[in-house]
Each structure stands twice: as structure tokens, then as C-alpha cells.
A = this chain, B = another copy of it.
Amino acid sequence: MEREDLFRKISVANDKKIVLLVLDGLGGLPVNDRTELETARTPNLDLLAAESELGLSHPIAPGITPGSGPAHLSLFGYDPLKYEIGRGILEALGVGVSVGARSVAVRGNFATLENGVISDRRAGRIATEKNREIVAFLRERIKTIEDVEVGIYPGEEHRFVLVLTGDALSDGVTDADPEVTGKPITYAKAKNEEAARTARIANLFIDRLTRELADFHPANTCLLRGFAKYPAIPSLNELFKLKAAAIAVYPMYKGLAQLVGMEILETGRTLQDQVATLKRHYGEYDFFFLHVKKTDSYGEDGDFSHKVGIIEEFDRWLPEILELTPDVLVVTGDHSTPAVMKGHSWHPNPVLLKSAFQRRLPANGASLDAIACGPPDGQACGKVNVASARAKFSETACARGVLGTFNAMEVLPLMMANALKFKKFGA
């Protein structure tokens, strides 16, 4: 039996509530012997950790550094090697465009055509404002090609997203990109017969755009890459009978949540807004995904102390979430983003799972982990209360946790089990 068939078979709906709190890029690497999470003063997380199951999760597999797409698919319970999200789709999600089953999404670059050859594949990295103007102009002029609807959406600098919508479109199309400068426009080619129409439409689009932008040098042509259809992912409702909602600020994460059938709740840009949104809709769903972006952003910037600051801010809002008394609560990351690496990494995610049916290491066991407690100045351990002094939510404590080290795609099944939403398998 396949893993997903097992989930379909044993999942049951009930009124228990699951809350998944994702601090993007949470895991880190030490500076002065402590990671970002270990450096942060997090009395509320520490108190919770003392009463929770801890562990570490690999987003994909040991040693594999994931992008946000596969990392989130894994957290949502899917095998990220089974479902690949094409670049075009990710790009569309990133600019907040929904892509339906009849559409193909494509990454576009504005580029420069001079003397019949591409002289700059990024059109001199035009300003984003200029990009928006050009896209507005093109939208007026190119609305359909044959019977295919054309959607054009601006990105940053020279980037845009093209969404073609019509019957029988295919993503079996090669990139329309010479890859180096000094070559003429390279057209898309169909990889198979079914894709012939899509390739023709894409190439007609390139020609139309190039004609329309004749006076827009340096942005007077385009490259098209990463043709991708919406992946056929079974929804969280199909697999797990969950009624799921997402509380995310950034379009990419809303898009990823939408891919698996979550409803996207309107929310503001601050953590306070997100927590308020969670409270407002708490009665309406049985699964909530709340996404905190800035831990990752500061990690990518190599800004250790601001990443610490975001973790501390999250810690201050945690009690308001705990007041909702969810039946199952998880705090984790989608992948690690150590500030010292200025980028995503393969290091496994800290995982904290709180439920009524947890095993945890007993108090005196947890006290072993208290070695890692408190910030470098040595003050916090004396200040925090006894319970929180017993454990610290940290990579170190998680590495010794009762959950062990496991694959992130098992986080959702574990939450399902703890919410008693899984029946017994076999007799």
C-alpha cells in the first residue's frame, strides 16, 4: 500500500484542533557556541519545550538543502520528491498569482535585442517600476493568442510571469532562452506532440511582445523559461480529511498552502495581525498553518542578531496562541537558514510537539538539556522559573528529544495521530 493510500484509508475528521507554527529557516548554526535559537531569550518556548516532545526533522533527506517549495510540501505531509513544483508555478506563487488546472505558468525575463542577437538576457536589470509600466502596456495589447488567454504579471527588476490559460495546454516545452548573449532569439520547442500547440502559442507570444516593445530598448524582447503546469497534488482534505487554513504574509507561502487546498485567511503584515487572524477564525477550521517569514529573511542576510530578535518576538506572542489550547501544537521550521551561511541549509529542523498523548523526557531527564539553557551572559537561567530552567527549545535539546531525528514529511502524520484523527491500520 502506498503511503498516501494509507492516509486516505485511516484518516477521520473530528473536532480536534491542530496548529502548525512555522518559523521559516528557524534552525541555525552556532556563533559563540550558540545558534540563533539557543541565543534567543525564549522563556515561553522553553516552558513549552519542557512539556512537549522534541526532535529534529530532515526537510527532504540528510544532506539535502531544500527550497521553500519542497520544504513546505514536506511539512504539509507530502513526499517532496514525488511532487515537483515547476519553476513557473513557484514564480507565479511568488508574485501572488493563482494558477488553475488549465494554465501553464512561465518565468519571463525582459531582455535586449540588438542587431538581431540577444545582447543582454536581463535588459540591464531595469527598475521594478519600469517593469510595472511595461507590463501594464503589454496587458492592454496582448490579451489572447488564438483562443488562449494571456496573463502577464510583473516581478522584480527584469522578471515577469506569463500565465497561458486554455484547453489542452502542456508544459512539455523547452526553454526559449539562448543561455548566452550574442545569439538570436531562441524559440520554445515541444518535447512531445501534445505540447506542439503550447510551443507555438509561446513563440507567437515572443514575437508579439518583441513587436510591441520595439521602442522600449533595453527591454525589447523576452526569454521564457520553466514552463510548468499546476501539479496534481491531492488536497489535505482528500488525504487527511482536514479543513485547513493558512495565515501567511508572503505570496509564495500563501500559494504553497493553496496548492494543498488550504484556505488563505486575510491577515496583516505583523505577527500580532497573524495571531489576531488565528483567534478570529479559530472556530472555523481544524488545521492552521501560521507562517513567520522573517527568521529566514534575516538568516539569508547573514543577520544573526535580528534573526534572534524575530525568534524572541515570536516567543512574546506564543502565550496568546497557547490560550487557544489547541489539541496539537507544533513549532518548527521548514528548513534551516543559518545566518553564518547566509542561505538555506540541510541541517535538520528543531521540532516541538505538544499534545495530551505525548511522551516526553521526564523532568530530571529534561534537566540534562538545561545545560544549553540561557544566553551567554549567564543571567537568564537564574531569572526564569524552575519549569523553564528544565529545558530549552534548542537544536541541542531537540537532538536528544524523544521524537528522535525523522523526516519532516512525518510531522503531519504525527500531528494527525496526536489529534486522534488516524484510525488503527489493520487488525
Distance between A98 CB and nearest chain B CB, rounded to angstroms: 18
Q: Is the CB of B33 within 8 A of A422?
A: no
Q: What CA separation (Å) do A415 and B1 show in the bound complex?
A: 26
Q: B35–A359 contact, CB under 8 A?
A: yes
Q: Which of A394-427 contact B (CB under 8 A)?
A: 395-396, 399-406, 410, 413-418, 422-427
Does A319 make an interface contact (CB < 8 A)?
A: no
Are A61 and B363 in contact, with the CB atoms below 8 A?
no
Q: Assembly of this chain: how many copies?
A: 2
The yes or no answer to A324 lying at the interface (CB within 8 A) is no
Contact B426 A85 (CB under 8 A): yes
Least CB distance, A412 to chain B, in whole angstroms: 8
| Interface residue A291 (Cβ < 8 Å from any Cβ of B) | no
> In whole angstroms, how far apart are the Cα atoms of A387 and B396 in the complex?
19
A416 to B65, CA, bound (A): 11
Residue ID in chain B nearest A2 by CB atoms: B81
A396 touches B70 (CB 8 A): no
Binds B, one of A179-187, A208-216, A304-312, A365-373: A365-373
Q: How far is the CA of A68 from the CA of B65 in the complex (A)?
A: 31
- A124 on interface, CB distance cutoff 8 Å: no
- Contact between B359 and A62, CB atoms less than 8 A apart: no
CB pair A10–B64 under 8 Å, yes or no, is: yes
Q: From B30, B60, B82, B422, give the contact of A65 (CB < 8 A).
A: B422
A405–B56 Cα distance when bound, in Å, is: 11
Q: Is there a chain B Cβ closer than 8 Å to A362's Cβ?
A: yes
B56 adjacent to A87 (CB under 8 Å): no
A81–B6 Cα distance when bound, in Å, is: 8
Most B CB contacts (10 A, CB to CB) among A3, A67, A338, A362 go to A362
Q: Which residues of chain B are within 8 angstroms of A81 by Cβ–Cβ distance? A: 1-3, 6
> Which residues on the B side are within 8 Å of A346 (C-beta)?
414, 417, 422
CA distance A70 to B425 in the complex (A): 8
Contact call B405/A63, Cβ cutoff below 8 A = no
Closest to A87 in B: B427
Min CB gap A270→B, angstroms: 26
Return the CB mask of A331-354 against B: 1 if under 8 Å, else 0. 000000010010111110000000
Is B365 within 8 A of A424, CB to CB?
A: no
With A81-B6, A427-B87 in contact, is A371–B364 under 8 Å at CB? Answer: yes
Contact B372 A417 (CB under 8 A): no
Please determine whether B359 and A365 come into contact, CB atoms closer than 8 angstroms.
no
Do B63 and A414 touch across chains, with their CB atoms under 8 A apart? yes
| A293-333 to B contact mask, C-beta < 8 Å, 1/0 | 00000000000000000000000000000000000000000
Residues of B within 8 A of A69 (CB): 426-427
**What's the Cα separation between A362 and B365 when bound, in Å?**
16
Nearest residue, chain B, Cβ from A93: B427
Question: Which residues of B have CB within 8 Å of A402?
Answer: 395-396, 399
State which of B2, B67, B357 has its C-beta within 8 Å of the C-beta of A424: B67
Q: A25 at the A/B interface (Cβ < 8 Å)?
A: no
Contact A62-B29, Cβ < 8 Å, known A344-B424, A427-B67: no
Chain A interfacial positions (CB closer than 8 Å to B): 1-3, 6, 10, 29-30, 33-35, 38, 56, 60-71, 80-82, 84-85, 87, 90, 338, 341, 343-347, 357-359, 361-365, 368-369, 371-372, 395-396, 399-406, 410, 413-418, 422-427
8 interchain residue pairs of minimum CB distance = A404-B405, A63-B413, A63-B417, A67-B426, A62-B410, A70-B426, A67-B427, A364-B371
In the assembled complex, 14 residue pairs joining A and B whose CB atoms fall closer than 8 Å, in A order, are: A1-B84, A3-B61, A3-B81, A6-B64, A63-B410, A63-B413, A65-B424, A67-B425, A69-B427, A70-B425, A80-B426, A347-B359, A362-B396, A365-B372
